[in-house]
């Protein structure tokens, strides 16, 4: 099969295996964004089916051609858990956890990136567009270009790109930069990420970097321009609005409030259980507000959904222990027979239940220490069709660049965060409405369809510019 005009390459396929050995769509927002374009362009999606040693043939699903890339148990350990999530993830999130630089992990990363690139090169029609996603596949743009100079290549980086002082720790920094520069357009969440990347390229490779692009030297001595720019990702806002207006989901929201004992204020945190999310900092702040009597469990409760993630990686297992200890300590001190300080759920929920939770929550706490974008913040906003609710948002989340009427916090500043939480508790409904309207306007105008259109338009332009 080699006739797809658009090939998306991502670590994961947009489907999960169900219990009967069939496939169901996975909940990610990227699929929703790309499905319409993919159908139109005879699209193919290259990705890992999510389980070790699962080798399946290519198949069609919901108007897309899916190309599974199998990973052995050992590759899952070294490429996915190792280099992707034990080296790059902590390094790119400002070393919140210590990155490990292991040569065997790097070797597996190179090998697996080559396999993804080969699959993409096979799937692409002549002059097709190949769109590579995220940090697990940073070498793929260059590896595809080496085989298929006819195709246009885009890369989108969903996580932060760190400052040069940190990035330069990476023993394979040049290879990674060269891998990414195989793309015609390299997209980032924030302008600051794009600048960090351009600076790293300038320092390491001495390429000329300008607003119009980075002047890349091809192997044959010719030159081309690669564009590094911010394209902040978004969500399928209309889908959240639709769910938020459904009677059964509104009833469920009321039921959640009742089940929690109808407290005056419900705080909500929704995260993958990840050390970048600032879950412990948020709990410390809430815990101290209870300690000081500024909040009481009769009147307020925090619901924390922490969905299981990357559980075999050490830092994640450690984090879980730490968080559960904090929850135990705070609840042990403050709970009564009827009320709880923190309702902690180490579980994943369907989107319907998430929207009911968003509707039930008076205050949404997004306190990431570092986050590429944070789509939960956007989901909360999109769901609040009643224009009520307060978003407390970390300045270290990409979403802070766009969601300017949220209450902004520095999650490292516990006192500041406590005051911000109390401001949220005390905010009058008129002020909530004023702020929420602006937030909603931004998310609805700039949804995920606008995002993918913006990126693909820039990609088409860059191809034209380089051809002329
Ligand atoms: C982040 C990354 C994605 C990744 C997701 C879930 O959002 O940017 O690339 O797919 O986390 O993590 P997982 O390791 O389960 O794919």
Task: Give me the mean pLDDT over the 67-90 stretch.
Answer: 98
Whole-number Å distance between alpha carbons of 239 and 451: 16
Q: How many CA atoms lie within 13 A of 181 on its CB side?
A: 27
Ligand 1, atom nearest to 10 Cα: 9
**CA 71/CA 48 separation, integer angstroms:** 7
Lowest mean pLDDT among 12-16, 161-165, 192-196, 305-309: 12-16
Residue 461 DSSP SS3:
helix
pLDDT of residue 31: 77
Q: What residue's CA is closest to ligand 1, atom 16? A: 12
318-342: average pLDDT:
98
CA–CA dist 51, 73 (Å, integer): 9
User: Ligand 1 centre from 129 Cα, in Å?
Assistant: 23
Residue 123, CA atoms < 13 Å, CB-side half-sphere:
31
CA distances from 409 to 90, 281, 394 (A): 22, 11, 5
What is the 464 CA–ligand 1 centroid distance (Å)? 32
User: Does the fold of domain 237-445 match that of domain 4-233+449-467?
Assistant: yes
> Which atom of ligand 1 is nearest the CA belonging to 136?
9
pLDDT-based confidence at residue 63 (cuts at 50, 70, 90):
confident
Q: What are phi and psi of 313, to 5 degrees?
A: -85, 130
Ligand 1 centroid to Cα of residue 83, in Å, is 14
The Å distance, Cα 396 to ligand 1 centre, comes to 18
Q: Is 134 in the pocket of ligand 1 (CB under 6 A)?
A: yes
12 close to ligand 1 (CB < 6 Angstrom): yes
CATH level 3 topology of 237-445: Rossmann fold (3.40.50)
**pLDDT tens digits along 341-387:** 999 999 999 999 999 999 999 999 999 999 999 999 999 999 999 99
pLDDT in tens, 88-110: 999 999 999 999 999 999 999 99
Ligand 1 lined by 309 (C-beta under 6 Å): yes
Residue 39: the pLDDT is 78
Ligand 1 atom nearest the C-alpha of 158 is: 8
pLDDT band at 313 (very low <50, low <70, confident <90, very high): very high
Ligand 1 mean position, distance from CA 188 (Å)? 15
| Domain residue extents for the chain | 4-233+449-467, 237-445
Which of 136, 158, 307 for a ligand 1 pocket mutation test, highest count of atoms within 8 Å of Cβ? 158
pLDDT digits (tens, 9 = 90+) for 148-182: 999 999 999 999 999 999 999 999 999 999 999 99
pLDDT by residue (tens digit) across 229-266?
A: 999 999 999 999 999 999 999 999 999 999 999 999 99
Q: Is the pLDDT of residue 418 over 70?
A: yes
Q: Locate all alpha helices (DSSP H) within 41-172, ordered by sequence.
A: 73-75, 89-92, 103-123, 140-147, 164-167
Q: Which atom of ligand 1 is nearest to the CA of 135?
A: 9
How large is the average pLDDT for residues 114-134? 97
Q: What was the pLDDT predicted at 2?
A: 61
Given a cut of 90, whether residue 115 has pLDDT beyond it is: yes
Within 10 angstroms of residue 408's Cβ, the number of other Cβ atoms is 16
368: CA distance to ligand 1 center in Å?
15
In whole angstroms, what is the distance from residue 227 CA to residue 424 CA?
40
| CA of residue 159 to ligand 1 center, whole Å | 9
Q: Whole-model pTM above 0.85?
A: yes
Q: Is 280 in the pocket of ligand 1 (CB under 6 A)?
A: no
Measuring CA to CA, which residue among 197, 215, 231, 217 is closest to residue 465?
A: 215
Summarised one tens digit per residue, pLDDT across range 1-34 is 568 999 999 999 999 888 888 898 887 667 777 8
Q: Rounded to the nearest whole angstrom, what is the distance from the C-alpha of residue 66 to the centroid of ligand 1?
A: 19
Residue 29: its pLDDT value, please? 65
> Is the CB of 157 inside a 6 Å radius of any atom of ligand 1?
no
Q: Across the chain, what does the average pLDDT equal?
A: 96
pLDDT given at position 219: 79
Pocket test for ligand 1, best of 273, 309, 379, 448 (most atoms within 8 A of CB): 309
Q: Which of 80, 134, 233 to mutate to test the pocket of ligand 1 (most atoms within 8 A of CB)?
A: 134
Ligand 1 pocket member 159 (CB < 6 A): yes
3-class secondary-structure state, position 18: coil
What CATH code would you report for 4-233+449-467?
Answer: 3.40.50.2000
Give the closest residue (by CA) to ligand 1 atom 14.
310
Digit-coded pLDDT (tens) for 451-463: 999 999 999 999 8
| Ligand 1 contact, 93 CB (< 6 A) | no
pLDDT (0 to 100) of residue 190: 98
Residue 435 confidence (pLDDT) above 70: yes
> For residue 35, how far is its CA from the centre of ligand 1 (angstroms)?
19
Residue 385 CA to ligand 1 center (angstroms) comes to 28
pLDDT value at 211 more than 90: no
Closest CA to 271 of 240, 302, 303, 304: 304
The residue to mutate among 31, 84, 161, 272, having the most atoms of ligand 1 within 8 angstroms of its beta carbon, is 272
Q: Establish how many alpha carbons lie within 13 A of residue 32's alpha carbon, considering only the half-sphere containing its beta carbon.
A: 17
- Tell whether the torsion through CA atoms of 205, 208, 213 and 216 is positive or negative: negative
In the predicted structure, residue 212 carries a pLDDT above the cut 90:
no
Residue 383 has what pLDDT? 98
Q: What is the pLDDT of residue 179?
A: 98
Confirm or reject: Cβ of 310 under 6 Å from ligand 1.
yes
User: Is 468's pLDDT higher than 80?
Assistant: no
Q: Separation of 115 CA from ligand 1 center, angstroms?
A: 20
Residue 200: both structure tokens together: 């790293």
Q: Are 272 and 373 in contact (CB under 8 A)?
A: no
Q: Which residues pair with 188 in a beta bridge?
A: 230
What atom of ligand 1 comes closest to residue 85's alpha carbon? 14
Q: How far apart are CA 250 and CA 463, in angstroms?
A: 47
Each residue's pLDDT tens digit, 267-276: 999 999 999 9
Q: What is d(CA 323, CA 152) in angstroms, rounded to the nearest whole number?
A: 45
Rg of the chain in Å (alpha carbons): 23
Given a cut of 90, whether residue 415 has pLDDT beyond it is yes
Which residue's CA is minimally distant from atom 7 of ligand 1?
158
Q: Is the CB of 158 under 6 A from ligand 1?
A: yes
Q: In 3-state terms, what secondary structure has residue 30?
A: helix
């Amino acid at each position: 099969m080699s006739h797809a005009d658009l090939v998306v390459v991502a670590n994961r396929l947009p489907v999960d295996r169900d219990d009967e050995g069939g496939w169901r769509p996975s909940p990610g927002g990227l699929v929703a964004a790309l499905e319409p374009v993919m159908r139109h362009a005879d699209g193919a999606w290259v990705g890992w089916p999510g389980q070790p040693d699962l080798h399946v043939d290519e198949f069609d699903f919901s108007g897309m051609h899916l190309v599974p890339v199998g990973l052995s148990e050992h590759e899952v350990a070294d490429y996915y858990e190792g280099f992707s999530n034990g080296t790059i993830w902590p390094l790119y999130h400002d070393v919140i956890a210590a990155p490990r630089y292991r040569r065997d992990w790097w070797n597996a990363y190179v090998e697996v990136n080559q396999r993804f690139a080969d699959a993409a090169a096979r799937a692409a029609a002549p002059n097709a567009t190949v769109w590579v996603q995220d940090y697990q596949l940073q070498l793929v743009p260059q590896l595809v270009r080496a085989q298929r100079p006819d195709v246009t290549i885009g890369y989108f980086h969903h996580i932060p790109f760190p400052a040069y002082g940190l990035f330069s720790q990476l023993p394979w920094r040049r290879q990674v930069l060269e891998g990414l520069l195989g793309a015609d357009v390299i997209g980032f969440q924030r302008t600051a990420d794009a600048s960090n990347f351009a600076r790293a390229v300038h320092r390491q490779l001495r390429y000329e970097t300008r607003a119009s692009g980075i002047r890349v030297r091809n192997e044959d001595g010719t030159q081309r321009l690669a564009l590094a720019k911010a394209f902040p990702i978004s969500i399928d806002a209309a889908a959240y609005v639709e769910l938020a207006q459904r009677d059964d989901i509104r009833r469920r929201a009321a039921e959640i409030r009742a089940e929690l004992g109808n407290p005056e204020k419900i705080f909500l945190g929704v995260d993958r259980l990840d050390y970048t999310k600032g879950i412990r900092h948020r709990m410390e702040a809430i815990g101290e507000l209870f300690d000081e009597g500024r909040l009481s469990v009769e009147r307020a409760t925090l619901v924390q959904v922490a969905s299981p993630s990357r559980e075999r990686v050490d830092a994640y297992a450690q984090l879980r222990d730490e968080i559960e200890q904090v929850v135990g300590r705070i609840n042990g001190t403050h709970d009564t027979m009827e009320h709880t300080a923190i309702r902690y759920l180490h579980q994943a929920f369907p989107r319907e239940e998430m929207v009911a939770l968003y509707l039930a929550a008076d205050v949404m706490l997004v306190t990431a220490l570092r986050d590429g974008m944070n789509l939960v913040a956007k989901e909360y906003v999109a769901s609040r069709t009643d224009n009520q609710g307060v978003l407390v948002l970390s300045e270290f989340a990409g979403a802070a660049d766009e969601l300017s009427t949220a209450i902004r916090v520095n999650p490292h500043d516990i006192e500041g965060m406590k005051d911000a939480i109390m401001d949220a508790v005390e905010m009058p409904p008129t002020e909530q409405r004023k702020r929420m309207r602006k937030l909603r306007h931004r998310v609805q105008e700039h949804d995920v369809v606008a995002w993918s259109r913006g990126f693909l338009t820039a990609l088409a332009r860059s191809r034209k510019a380089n051809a002329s």
